[in-house]
Amino acid sequence: NLNPTKSPKTVEFALKHGYRHIDTAAAYDNEEEVGAGFKASEVPRSEIFLTSKLSSTHHAAADVEEAVGQSLSDLGTDYLDLYLIHWPIAFSEPADPKLRAPIDPADSGIHVVDAPVEETWEALEEVVAKGKVRSIGVSNFTREVSESLIKVANIRPAVNQVEAHPYLQQPSLLSWCEDQGINVTAYSPSGNNVYGFHKPLNDPVVVESVTPSRIEENFVDFQLPADAMDRIDVLDRNHRHNLPARLGVDIFGEVGREAAWKGRADWIAAQKK
């Protein structure tokens, strides 16, 4: 989720210094810049694993291929290695295609609509069949939503990318995904990118860095001792840093509808101050 003005040089530097996985999304509004950095690096496309994500504004089955096509064009590639449904929630289609969070005129909150994720997934499977995407997966999906999807999917999700760190370890979800053959990748690992935390857990982490020095630091290899892992284990408190209260939807099934709507109302009120 890089700053667009810094993205080209950051991506170019990272690829030239050994990075081979780029994780981006249409919602980050920087795919053109990421594509420019990829091109400037002159690293062969075949050596790069490129991940992008479907925005909530394009969950309608008829909009999925268009969204994929836009990401391909912006990134300057003819295929994606992995494409994820960014969130298990749909927004209305905005008048401005660059608007990532359309406003509901009823209350000035985000305009959430009903678009069955199963239909979105079927459209993604068609994109895979056309060779535009090689693997598909999900992000921020609970076990319950994932189970419903798997029941109708012809292609099982390859990945579930979720928030995971010492304060939100989600062992039950991680264990279930492992049993289902779904790889889990973590964003916000350890809350502040404590490198190495993921390795003993055998779960890949999406590492974010912008400065050249930090990019190079990510290649430093070390292993936390067992007693350190034990101290991390007891920190779990099911605390989320990334909880989009403005949506008014209990995405993770943890707070209830009433609390979710209160969170939305509080967010709307805060924007007016």
255 found inside a domain? no
Residue 83 lies in a domain: yes
pLDDT digits (tens, 9 = 90+) for 49-92: 999 999 999 999 999 999 999 999 999 999 999 999 999 999 99
Question: Does 59 appear as a known binding residue?
Answer: no
**Position 234 in a domain:** no
* Overall number of domains in the chain: 1
In a domain, 215, yes or no: yes
**What pLDDT does residue 245 have?**
73
Does 230 fall in a domain?
no
Q: Write out pLDDT tens, residues 213-230.
A: 666 677 666 787 888 888
Write the CB contacts of 273 (distance below 8 Å, at least 6 apart in sequence).
Answer: none
| 260 falls within a domain | no
Q: Is 167 in the active site?
A: no
Which has the closest alpha carbon to 75: 44, 51, 54, 59?
51
Residue with the bigger pLDDT between 197 and 49: it is 49
DSSP type of residue 149:
H
Which domain CATH number covers 96?
Answer: 3.20.20.100
Domain that holds residue 39: 7-225
Q: In whole angstroms, what separates CA 144 from the centre of its chain?
A: 18
**28, 83, 187, 195: which one is catalytic?**
28
Q: Tell me the pTM.
A: 0.86
pLDDT, tens digit (0-9, with 9 covering 90-100), for 11-47: 999 999 999 999 999 999 999 999 999 999 999 999 9
- How confident is the model at residue 199, as a pLDDT? 41
Q: Is residue 147 part of a domain?
A: yes
- Residue 202 belongs to some domain of the structure: yes
